[in-house]
Structure 1
Amino acid sequence: VFQKRFESFTTEHERRWTLAGQVVCLLLCACALDRVLAQIRYSVPEELEHGAFVGNIAEDLGLDVAKLSSRRFRIVSGAKKQYLEVNLENGILFVNEKIDREELCEQSPGCFLHLQVVIENPLELYRVEVEILDVNDNAPSFPWSEFNLEITESAAPGSRFPLESAQDLDVGSNSLRSYLLSANQHFVLDIQTRNDGSKFAELVLQSPLDREQQKTHEMVLTAVDGGSPLRSGTAQIKVTVLDANDNVPVFDRSVYRVSLVENAPRGTLVLKLNATDLDEGANGEITYSFSGHAPLKVRELFSVDSHSGEIRVKGIVDYEKASVYELYVQAKDKGPSAVAVHCKVLVDILDVNDNAPEVILTSVSTPVQEDAPPGTVIAVVSVMDRDSGENGAVDCQIPGNVPFQLHSSFKNYYTLVTSEFLDRESVSEYNITLTARDLGSPPLSTRKTILVQVSDINDNPPRFIQPSYTVYVTENNAPGASICSVTAFDPDSNQNAYLSYSILEGQIQGMPVSTYVSINSDNGNIYALRSFDYEQLRNFQIRIQAQDAGFPPLSSNVTVSVFVLDQNDNAPVILSPLSRNGTVATEMVPRSVDAGYLVAKITALDADAGQNSRLSYQMLQATDPGLFSVALYTGEIRTIRRFVDKDAIRQRLVILDNGQPPLSATVSIILSVVDSVPESLSDFGDLSLSPQPPSNLALYLIVSLSTVSLIFLVAIIVLAAVKCYKDRDSLGGYALSSLGTACCSFEPEPPADVFKKSNLNLKISTGAKVPTNCVEVNSNPGNLSQAYCYKVCLTPESSKSDFMFLKPCSPGTPRNNTAKGADNLVLSSQSRCSSVNNGATTPNEVKQHSSSVLNINLLVEFVSYRIFMKNDALKGIKKKKNSNRCRTPACSQSYLQDFFWEYIKDGKFCINSPELQLRMQTHGSF
């Protein structure tokens, strides 16, 4: 009988297995077609060794095996162990650790490993579901090897006696399928099925028992599973026949159904059972207990009070492990041959929101470049909640003040993407708090912080801290010294913020800028390569470039203006009066002059600027302080009293500038005191100071001393008057012509005999770029054997704006110009003073000229007498001169000088030189 039943069971098992295999194949085909959901499914038996083949995941997903490593192919599982792994060389999914289905999923009907496949560049996500197939590795087993049953002899045929259930850890076809009972005369086996599909056996009395014939009955109970090969377990059943007890307990209901909230505390009352027995005494006292086939897990969670029938919570009830429990309780009296009756209690577990959502970061792409376009995927997040219903529904959110958005891709999966362009210079990293909150009451939440770092790109050029730089450097600086430093900053980072400084190409006074300054490329310090000279270079500009080390590099420029400050490094240079040797000058002074007589005018020049060029004149070691006075700023030497014989003829003066410390120059003047001055000298002023042979001067003195008489003086005056009269009558006319827009040119055309005694070529130059106006006088008087060339400049401190004349020898000037018959006076804007540097005469120029000086009064006197004699204004002037009896050179010079300025001021003489006009305005001439 056992063999036949076994063969019948095997045939039925094979039929069911074939049907299950067809269902699995259909599921696999459906999963293979589900490419839209990006999900594939594999099946693998449990208990496979390491390296067992599961599937070619790269081929099934259509991926290039060669790019798996570069795209960072990886699988993510929520399991505690890494059961499966992928070989990146061939894309095969293999078993990494032996899988025990019973340990992983206990006795759940389906057991799956949910994997997420993550691939980057670009980011892709696939879902892989691996079903763990059960193998028949566990045989059914009974909790006890022997069951003892006590059955009264009065038990009626058909009475049922539940037996302890066998336990098989396998599931599906490998789980417990049936029970078999060894052959006997009184009992048969009835197999029952629970709601969850599990089997249990009941022993059914087939024929009445007779204790007098047989007190005990022994049988073998066999539990068989449906695996291949079949596995089974056995237990001994020993039935003891008891004496009769007429009544058995009776439950109110055969099936009870109650609800219990999960996580109910221990001792919570679930249900109170009630059974009654019509017998009296011990035969009517009822005890309650779990039936023999109650599962062990139920016994661990619940307890039954044997006296009251109360079912209470004993362990931790978790809805997530089981939503309903079946409890089988028996009741029997205490009488002899007591018969147990059974009932079923169904306990429905109510879910409570006791599980917070779980957040799993499947993939995080960080850092992200700041120029990543909106929509760039930063992270993939999966969430789950073990609760059910509203308690298991999860909503994810991130703060709204970050440039990111959270998108729901498919069930329980979210992608974190950028919502706008990032700016690393504003925010270099973000700590994004992701909050997952379920919909339970009260809701539970979980927070997960995602760190997103922003990588830099070279999107910011360097910026200087100042729009321009102005540097003041004192001249005569030390070469190699730092003159300033420029600083730029770059808000980028790393190489993109590393700056190097350079000087852009340019020229300063025709020379490359690199010959003047250099720069430290690391810190922006600028160094002078030479010593600057204020008199040569007063200011210049350089362009500095700051460039970062990014790719491509970015740069910006700034202008540095360098101003050279003057130092008092030039001593005053004496322009007049100068003698032949350059240190001693001789001045003739009439003995009979009164106080206030202009003895000489010292003119000096300082090449420096500002206060360093402001000059003052002082008498040095005066032998008689009461003899002369020196104008502090004009240098005019005037008499304080009349001369006496004992007065010293040598006076020494010092010229000081206003620098710190002041520099000076000295000049010695030898006074030649004479009894009278010839009229010719009165006319020509300082021509007597021009180099003359010593014999002429001695002869003149001898003649003057020997002919000191009133007759000789009257004769000289008469001759001078006759001479002036002839000159006025013989001057033919003037031709006035314009030379451009610079000035006017006077071309006098007197008869040739007017200038028989002297030939003079006088040129006034008013160059626009020359701060001092120059006058050149080429003179060849009849009684001089040498040609003269005078250059004149306005003195800065003269209150009357006198002209000064330096006298170099001009080899280009002919000694005799008598062929022309008359000299020319020409005013030109094209000629300029030679050797003028920065508006000042250099010491070399001064040394180039000879020591003879011709005062402006000589020029004025010459112009007045030789050229403008025909003018009507001069007639009154000449009469006034004669009436005032001006006979001394100083008197004549002062008078004619005033007339000359008056003549120019009235517009009768055109001088358009801006510099000359400025000098005239400064000294009050206009």
Structure 2
Amino acid sequence: MKRESFFFYLFFKPHSSMSNESLGLCILLLYTSPLCCFANFSQAKELVYKIKEGLPSGTLIGSMGSDLHLDLSLDPHVLFNLPQKMPSDQYVTLNSTTGQLFTSGNEIDRETLCPDSSEYNQGCVLSLDVFVLPQQYFQLVKVKILVEDVNDNRPRFPTGEIRVSVPENTQVNARFAVEQSATDPDLGFHGVQTYWLVNDFGLTPFLIVTDELDRERREEYVTDIIAEDGGLPPLLGTATLRIIITDVNDNCPQFTESQVNVTLYGNTTKGEHLSRLHAFDPDQGANAVISYAYSDRVPREARALFHLDRITGVIKLAGQINTATGKFYKLTVLANGPGCVPAVATVTVHVIRVASGPPVITPRYIAAEKDGVVTMKESEPPFSPIAFFTVSNTDQRGQGTECLLEGSGPFRLTPYKRLKNEYLLETTEPLDHEQRQDYELTVVLRNPRGLAIKTFVKILVLDENDNSPVFKQSLYEVSVEENNPPNSFLTQLQATDQDSEARGEVIYTLGSDAPSIFLLERLTGVLTVSTSLDREEKQTYRFMVRAVDRGTPRRESIATVVITVLDRNDNSPRFINKDFTFFVPENFPGFGEIGVLSVTDADAGENGWVALSIVNGSDIFVIDAGRGALRARTPLDREQQGTYHLWIEAVDGGEPSLSCLTVVTVLLLDVNDNPPVVLFPQSNQSYMLVLPSTLPGTSITEVYAVDKDTGMNAVIAYSIIKRKGGVPGSFDIDPDTGNITLKRELSDRGLYSLLVKVSDHGQPEPLHSTVLVNLFVNETVSNESYIQKRPGREDLFPCQPLLIALSVTCLGLFCIVVTLTAYICCKKLKKWRKCQMKRLEVEMPLKVNGDDADRKRTEISNI
């Protein structure tokens, strides 16, 4: 064993007596060649890999073996070691034999790994130390993994609702910054890039005033602000933007009544309420503060006698009036507002001399009351009692005294159950906080002398959660094209609740029937779809959405959302078969339907309309562009061409159009339209010499025929249908091969003629041909005594002798020409014999038997 291959591991366990600095497990590696070890450490290599965050487990980061140029096939003992308990351990795994780095089960999240990254410091590095073993290869490798950012975080606003205050006197086109801007943990282009309002757009979080504002006409505007990052696809973050119009002092106080008359008995007690002036200012806060004061024209005596509360506008009797004489006072009251000209009201006090004290109205409240202000819930039923009013100190036992109610609202004042001087104030209809929040009523007592005593009652209507949110639309119909990017905006739901405070705040939720791919922002009602939609998978989505308020108990309303996925031409036409084969009988009528090519397209409308055409330009076939019926222009002949291959293209009507191809094979089926054709003998005048000594069973010749048809239509059968000359039955023919054999010994010499029928097996009607086979039985054709007249076609038919007999009979009737006829016949007979000798030159048959056949050909050729 080599010295250089030794290394040892020594473990030192600390004792309790050791110092804190020495605590821990110490590992010492002793090598036989320490200089080499330190040299490798000093030459530590660095490898840099770059990956994107969020990769799945098992993704290859890099191969250290190949990057370090190590040939692992030469020494399979090389090992890669990743030290334990390093911070980066949880994110990567190392193959110790190949040096390949993979992502582990813990997802690498750049925002978690490098929370301090910023626009100016975007680097996020995962550092590893890897040891290469054994000692002869030992080296320390510094691995740096640069983690790149991906767009996996949507922008987020710090709060669900952002409030911005805008003065009502702001000029048009003025800008206001939205201080609570959105944040996005992603960096660079994946961070926040754009802000926009619903139905608006902007590049920076600024509000721009586009029209004149008036707080008294509208106090606030509510919309949604949306932050969009620059990823592909972009991610959105939403928040409710509540724009509050702040007040400016652009209105001045005004009295509800500029002339007030008060009747006062001379014996009215000190401190009695005489009247209450009311002025209002449409402004808000400090701009609406009103103070009441007497004009400088009011005498000091009147000011001292009638006290005016500068805050409430209530006038009280502050002194003792003169009861001896009647008198009237004219008081000028000013309503002062900041920076405004005072409003003026005149109060005329008529003092009436009386012998006894004035009538007194004493209220006894049934409803909740504090400082003269009654509070009632809007849910109170009709005829709910508010207060009893008792009238005392009336003249003549109250005769002629009446108690009236002044002021608008669903209230009435009636005598209580026939009791004198007792009156009940009650409601006549249910109160509605949303219609009116407060009422100011006046109970007036008048006596026959014209004296009027007034008592003021203010009623505040408390809000209750008696209104459900109401959707702006009960049905939201949304259309979106298929193949949309994920997180696409679909629509924004809008619902309002007339209740106040939390009872009027609306939260949006999806119904239980909503697919999980749809997301609904709780505060803004923005509906998005998280994935890409496919119309061919599902064309319509229909589900419920709810708007819920925050009152107690909670109230809700429901709307329906119908999302229609619009078609895009993303599907090619498809034939129902990969290829088509049609079997057609030949001679099929022209423009007859050979077959139909069925094709489908999953798209709709024009995108799904398909036209068919023949690509390889055949003039023989045509195809219906719409129906797909294949036809031939003319009848087809299998004997000319039995198979046709056509390329058919299907093109849809989309833009751009998509297409597909298929091959169509047309196979022509045979029809029995061709009779057999005899190739041998070549003609009916052919002869073959047969020796009389030929033995029975010898093959003499054969008949050979072919049929252009196929199958049973081309199977040929041979038969002898007519014989002439010699002993009948001397020759026979094989029905399958057409081979003619000698059946018995030949006793008669001469010419044997066989009429052979060649027939196919076609259906429904077999076709046939005939051929005449002439066999000359003799030793040689030179022996004249055995040459007979060559059989003509008339000898084969029985009707020919009858015609000759009839002709001879006719000639016998003409006795005058009998002698002439005999003479002519003798002449013709001599001529005929000469011609007969010339015809001994017979055509040689194409096939004879054995050596005798060769000898016979020689003999005949020598004649």
TM-score (norm 1): 0.54
SS at match of 2:674: coil
Amino acid at match of 1:357: P
1:369-448, aligned counterparts within 5 Å? Answer: 369-388=481-500, 391-392=503-504, 394-404=506-516, 409=521, 412-438=523-549, 444-448=555-559
How far residue 300 of structure 1 moved from its aligned partner, in angstroms, is: 1.9
1:114 aligns with 222
Q: Choose the corresponding residue for 1:699, options 755, 760, 782.
A: 782
Q: Choose the corresponding residue for 1:241, options 352, 359, 373.
A: 352
Q: Which string of whole-angstrom CA distances, capped at 9 and with x for unpartnered residues, describes residues 700-719 of structure 1?
A: 667999xxxxxxxxxxxxxx
Q: Which string of whole-angstrom CA distances, capped at 9 and with x for unpartnered residues, describes residues 355-387 of structure 1?
A: 120234799995334333443332223433222
Q: Choose the corresponding residue for 1:467, options 562, 578, 597.
A: 578
Within 1, Cα distance between the matches of 2:221 and 2:502? 25
Largest Rg, 1 or 2: 1
Within 1, Cα distance between the matches of 2:355 and 2:639? 144
Amino acid at match of 1:114: V
CA gap of 1:630–1:252, structure 2 versus 1, over 3 A, is same
2:767 aligns with 663
Paired residues of 1:617 and 1:655 also in contact (CA < 8 A): yes
Within 2, Cα distance between the matches of 1:851 and 1:432? 99
CA gap of 1:535–1:278, structure 2 versus 1, over 3 A, is closer
2:600 aligns with 489
Q: Which string of whole-angstrom CA distances, capped at 9 and with x for unpartnered residues, describes residues 165-214 of structure 1?
A: 34555555357542435424345554447xxxx843314344522443xx
| 2:850 is the counterpart of 1:852 | no
Q: Which string of whole-angstrom CA distances, capped at 9 and with x for unpartnered residues, describes residues 374-430 of structure 1?
A: 4333222343322257754644332344435665647x3232222443220122232
CA gap of 1:190–1:631, structure 2 versus 1, over 3 A, is farther
Q: Alignment identity in percent?
A: 20
Amino acid at match of 1:386: Q
Within 2, Cα distance between the matches of 1:362 and 1:76? 21
1:302 aligns with 411
1:499-538, aligned counterparts within 5 Å? Answer: 499=610, 501=612, 524-526=628-630, 534-535=638-639, 537-538=641-642
Within 1, Cα distance between the matches of 2:852 and 2:245? 126
CA gap of 1:391–1:158, structure 2 versus 1, over 3 A, is closer
Q: Choose the corresponding residue for 1:93, options 197, 205, 209.
A: 209
Q: Choose the corresponding residue for 1:251, options 358, 362, 383.
A: 362
Paired residues of 1:397 and 1:434 also in contact (CA < 8 A): yes
| 2:710 is the counterpart of 1:609 | yes
Amino acid at match of 2:755: R
Within 2, Cα distance between the matches of 1:351 and 1:303? 22
Q: Choose the corresponding residue for 1:313, options 402, 427, 436.
A: 427
| 2:294 is the counterpart of 1:180 | yes
Q: Choose the corresponding residue for 1:275, options 373, 390, 412.
A: 390
CA gap of 1:440–1:469, structure 2 versus 1, over 3 A, is same
Q: Which string of whole-angstrom CA distances, capped at 9 and with x for unpartnered residues, describes residues 880-922 of structure 1?
A: xxxxxxxx99xxxxxxxxxxxxxxxxxxxxxxxxxxxxxxxxx
CA gap of 1:310–1:860, structure 2 versus 1, over 3 A, is farther
Within 2, Cα distance between the matches of 1:352 and 1:419? 38
Paired residues of 1:540 and 1:563 also in contact (CA < 8 A): yes
CA gap of 1:94–1:360, structure 2 versus 1, over 3 A, is same
Within 1, Cα distance between the matches of 2:643 and 2:660? 23
Within 1, Cα distance between the matches of 2:517 and 2:593? 54
1:124-163, aligned counterparts within 5 Å? Answer: 127=241, 129=243, 131=245, 133=247, 136=250, 140-143=254-257, 146-163=259-276
SS at match of 1:282: helix
SS at match of 2:209: strand
Within 1, Cα distance between the matches of 2:235 and 2:489? 9
CA gap of 1:278–1:480, structure 2 versus 1, over 3 A, is closer
For these two proteins, the number of residue pairs brought into alignment is 611
| 2:738 is the counterpart of 1:635 | yes
| 2:174 is the counterpart of 1:55 | yes
1:165 aligns with 278
How far residue 239 of structure 1 moved from its aligned partner, in angstroms, is: 1.1
CA gap of 1:159–1:381, structure 2 versus 1, over 3 A, is same
Within 2, Cα distance between the matches of 1:361 and 1:454? 20
Within 1, Cα distance between the matches of 2:468 and 2:588? 78
Within 2, Cα distance between the matches of 1:471 and 1:704? 61
CA gap of 1:481–1:248, structure 2 versus 1, over 3 A, is closer
How far residue 442 of structure 1 moved from its aligned partner, in angstroms, is: 6.9
| Structure 2: gaps spanning 5 or more residues | 1-156, 183-193, 229-233, 416-420, 789-842, 858-863
| Structure 1: gaps spanning 5 or more residues | 1-32, 47-51, 64-70, 78-84, 106-110, 506-512, 678-696, 706-849, 866-887, 890-926
SS at match of 2:174: strand
Within 1, Cα distance between the matches of 2:546 and 2:757? 94
Within 1, Cα distance between the matches of 2:360 and 2:308? 24
Q: Choose the corresponding residue for 2:471, options 345, 349, 359.
A: 359
Within 2, Cα distance between the matches of 1:618 and 1:73? 101
SS at match of 1:355: coil
Within 2, Cα distance between the matches of 1:387 and 1:187? 46
Structure with the bigger percentage of helix? 1
| 2:166 is the counterpart of 1:42 | yes
Paired residues of 1:657 and 1:663 also in contact (CA < 8 A): yes
Paired residues of 1:142 and 1:167 also in contact (CA < 8 A): yes
Within 2, Cα distance between the matches of 1:483 and 1:227? 99
Q: Which string of whole-angstrom CA distances, capped at 9 and with x for unpartnered residues, describes residues 750-799 of structure 1?
A: xxxxxxxxxxxxxxxxxxxxxxxxxxxxxxxxxxxxxxxxxxxxxxxxxx
Q: Which string of whole-angstrom CA distances, capped at 9 and with x for unpartnered residues, describes residues 838-897 of structure 1?
A: xxxxxxxxxxxx973225x539999xx9xxxxxxxxxxxxxxxxxxxxxx99xxxxxxxx
Q: Which string of whole-angstrom CA distances, capped at 9 and with x for unpartnered residues, describes residues 77-131 of structure 1?
A: 9xxxxxxx99xxx9963337xx7765x46xxxxx223345679998776736151
CA gap of 1:34–1:390, structure 2 versus 1, over 3 A, is closer
SS at match of 1:95: coil
CA gap of 1:333–1:574, structure 2 versus 1, over 3 A, is closer
Within 1, Cα distance between the matches of 2:724 and 2:851? 34
Amino acid at match of 2:528: V
1:707-726, aligned counterparts within 5 Å? Answer: none
2:665 aligns with 561
Within 2, Cα distance between the matches of 1:59 and 1:860? 126
RMSD: 5.3
Q: Which string of whole-angstrom CA distances, capped at 9 and with x for unpartnered residues, describes residues 271-319 of structure 1?
A: 23143636784269986445xxx7x4xx323222265321111455212
SS at match of 1:452: strand
CA gap of 1:155–1:481, structure 2 versus 1, over 3 A, is closer
Within 2, Cα distance between the matches of 1:62 and 1:244? 76
How far residue 613 of structure 1 moved from its aligned partner, in angstroms, is: 0.7
Amino acid at match of 1:604: A
TM-score (norm 2): 0.58
CA gap of 1:473–1:665, structure 2 versus 1, over 3 A, is same
CA gap of 1:322–1:309, structure 2 versus 1, over 3 A, is same
Paired residues of 2:509 and 2:545 also in contact (CA < 8 A): yes
1:805 aligns with none
